[in-house]
Amino acid sequence: MIIGVDFDNTIVCYDEVFRKVALERRAIPETTPPSKGAVRDYLLQVGLEPLWTELQGYVYGPRMQEARPFPGVLEFFTHCRAKGHSLFIISHRTRYPYLGERYDLHQAARNWVDVYGFHDPSRIGLPRDHVFFEASKQDKLARIREKACTHFIDDLPEFLEEPDFPASVQRIFFYPGRLTMQCSVARRADSWPTIQAMLLTD
């Protein structure tokens, strides 16, 4: 198999750090759940969309290292590599934030990948040239085609449902904690252990 995996909100979980940063700014009430979606929904509801946009750049930049991998994702990558499957991280991530300071969001993501041992031969051993941060959705789709992915895992149903998405690729919709969301073209998985059971057999 050649497995492509999205990065933000698929490999990386930002729930705790978004809540923490929004509380530091005194932008949300203490009762807001530790969920990126809950923080976003509250800020949009009270008319603070520019602040939400700025917070995304701040979290994906200088606060990136406070984010954690989703449970089971490191084990999935390790198991795939051990079984000889090819893995690619393919993400749509702008280079710089739309608002706020000019952080290099690509470098912040690459630093995070290093910290969690993705390139360490004694841990996951993913080659550095298997990680791509693309400037647009179309570039992301082109990369999936170029790498001839047989499977792709993403948290956004609207991306998986893109008309230009390669029809031959088996799509997996990763939806932790969002039980009401649907994706008409993909199998659904609520956790990385579920994905591992879905794709890998010992």
pLDDT of residue 131: 97
Residues 91 and 144 in one domain: yes
Q: How far apart are CA 21 and CA 70, in angstroms?
A: 19
Name the region of 173 (left: φ>0; alpha: ψ -120 to 50; beta: rest).
Answer: beta
CA distance 77 to 117: 11
Q: Where are the alpha helices (DSSP H) in the chain?
A: 15-24, 36-45, 49-60, 73-82, 105-115, 137-146, 157-160, 192-199
Q: Is the pLDDT of residue 36 over 80?
A: yes
Indicate if the pLDDT at residue 154 is higher than 90.
Answer: yes
Give, rounded to a whole angstrom, the gap between the first and last alpha carbons of the chain: 15
- Structural domains of the chain, count: 2
In CATH, what number is assigned to the domain containing residue 146?
Answer: 3.40.50.1000
At 38-62, the pLDDT tens digits run 999 999 999 999 999 999 999 999 9
- pTM exceeds 0.85, yes or no: yes
pLDDT bucket at 98, cuts 50 / 70 / 90: confident
Domain encompassing residue 169:
2-13+68-199
- Please identify, among 66, 81, 97, the residue that sits at the C-terminal boundary of a domain: 66
Q: What is the pLDDT of residue 184?
A: 80
CB 15, CB 35: distance < 8 Å: yes
Tokens at 67, concatenated: 């984010």
Same domain for 103 and 186, yes or no, is: yes
| Cβ within 8 Å of residue 36, ≥6 positions away | 9, 14, 15, 18
Specify whether 20 is located in the same domain as 7.
no
Residue 81: phi, psi to the nearest 5? -65, -40
Quick one: pLDDT at residue 102? 83
The answer on 88 and 61 residing in a single domain is no
Quick one: 113 and 74 in the same domain? yes
Mean pLDDT estimate for the chain: 92
